[in-house]
Amino acid sequence: MAVKVRFAPSPTGYLHIGNARTALINWLFAKAQGGAFLLRMDDTDTERSTADYAQGIRDDLAWMGMAWDAEESQAARLDRYAEVGERLAAKGRLYACYETPEELEYKRRRQRAKGLPPVYDREGMTLTPAQKTAYEAEGRRPHWRFVLEHRETSWDDLVRGPQSYHGGHLSDPVVRRADGTWLYMLPSAIDDADMGVTHVLRGEDHVTNTAVQIQMFEAMDAPVPRFGHVPLITGPGGVGLSKREGSQAVRDFRAEGIEPQPLVAMLASLGTAEAADPHATMDALLAAFDIRHFGRSQPQFDPAELAALNARYLHGLDFAAAYAGLVKAGLPQADETFWRAVRANLGRYADACDWWNVIHAPMAPVIEDAEVAAAAAASLPPEPWDETTWSILADAVKAKTGRKGRALFHPLRLALTGRENGPELKVLLPMLGRNRALARLSGETA
């Protein structure tokens, strides 16, 4: 059987970093086996779903290198959900309930007070036609629940191993609201069945849902997919990530100058024993991927670690590989000499613009030691300059002032670049040129 997976985000916000990891795991799983990756927009929440959010999700997936083989929209399949719902109701697997939210909460409080789990009491199944008519005369409209069979539902989870839940310990889930809109559970199962999804890979917060949805597949006489549930990632210190609480989205990292390759490498490694390689290609990640490599402990996603990985990525690029990024950052005039000089000091491409300005734009120098600066100005050799010029200049200033070590190099770096740290001065000095170097050492803006 050909492998087919799906990624089903809700376009009610931009792509959250945790959901991006789920998408990547699905993509790698499918493509490593020559399978298909389906993008399915869970857009039944018409009030919160927007076309802009949906396009943002597409843009982020494409930026990360995850092409999808087909796209579906749940909003376009409402008639199909109604059709299956009617069939399940006729089989006695869906039933109407008329409690208000307040009445349901009262029931739950009473059960908890008795030390019982807050499982729905199935009152809706006992209503007579007259009682239903009376409720509707009051203006109530029914919500619909799926009947869980009170038996063990088991599966061999691709990550967690053997799993089992008893239907009697779970509430019959609401699948359709009183206003006619559908909740997640049943439409997702209908879609997976109709679209031939063979494997469902998602976060471990869906484990209980899987027990419910397996019964839904069986009630529809549909093949049951294989399931795998990976631990959810947390932020630094184990704090959970939440789209609604403002955790960073993929687009935020893009705006901060993070490149796709290190982000993908980090997400692919989270939860495994493998270290992230920022230069790993998609082909390399595919060759190494194994769903069994994911453990049970919650991995931490640290933006600081991602920033460091992004820097490592830039540091390892040759000029040919980096040029497109430099152009995008606004430096089409950059050359290989410049790139080799500054790349080890970059955290993102935009940082290269700062160093370009240090070299080519007027700058007010920082004169920390006037004696050292004056000695350097008087010792500048004639051009042409190369990487040996710096050592000649430093030796001359040392001989004149007696300064050495930090007392020598720090004042010269500040005067020439205005920065505490940066690329080697033996590389920067020839790019600055004699006129600019002389002006800055003399305390002039240049």
Q: What percent of the chain has pLDDT over 70?
A: 99
Alpha-carbon distance 54 to 36, whole Å? 20
Least confident of 3-17, 230-244, 308-322, 354-368: 230-244
288: Cβ contacts below 8 Å, ≥ 6 apart: 274, 280
Tens-place pLDDT, residues 109-130: 999 999 989 999 999 999 999 9
Q: What pLDDT is stored for residue 244 in this prediction?
A: 47
Q: Could you tell me the two tokens for 33?
A: 């086996």
Q: For the chain, which domains are there? A: 4-72+184-230 (3.40.50.620), 79-176 (3.90.800.10), 319-360 (no CATH), 370-441 (1.10.10.350)
> Which residues, listed in sequence order, are joined to residue 391 by a DSSP beta bridge?
none
pLDDT at 101 over 50: yes
Tens-place pLDDT, residues 284-342: 999 999 999 999 999 999 999 999 999 999 999 999 999 999 999 999 999 999 999 99
**Whole-angstrom distance between the N-terminal and C-terminal Cα of the chain?**
69
Alpha-carbon distance 399 to 421, whole Å? 24
Three-state DSSP at 166 gives strand
Tens-place pLDDT, residues 407-430: 999 999 999 999 999 999 999 999
Q: Residue 118: name the closest of 172, 183, 165 by CA.
A: 172
CB 35 within 8 A of CB 4: yes
CB 16 within 8 A of CB 241: yes
Alpha-carbon distance 179 to 165, whole Å? 31
Q: Rounded to the nearest 5 degrees, what angle is found at the Cα of 27, between the Cα atoms of 204 and 229?
A: 10
Q: Residue range 9-38: average pLDDT? A: 97
Give the H/E segment covering residue 384.
Answer: none
Give one DSSP letter per residue of 338-353, joined into a string: HHHHHGGG-SSTHHHH
Q: Residue range 371-386: average pLDDT? A: 97
Q: What is the pTM of this model?
A: 0.92
Least confident of 185-194, 215-224, 237-246: 237-246
CB 42 within 8 A of CB 9: yes
pLDDT at 179 over 50: yes
Tens-place pLDDT, residues 343-377: 999 999 999 999 999 999 999 999 999 999 999 99
Alpha-carbon distance 422 to 410, whole Å? 11
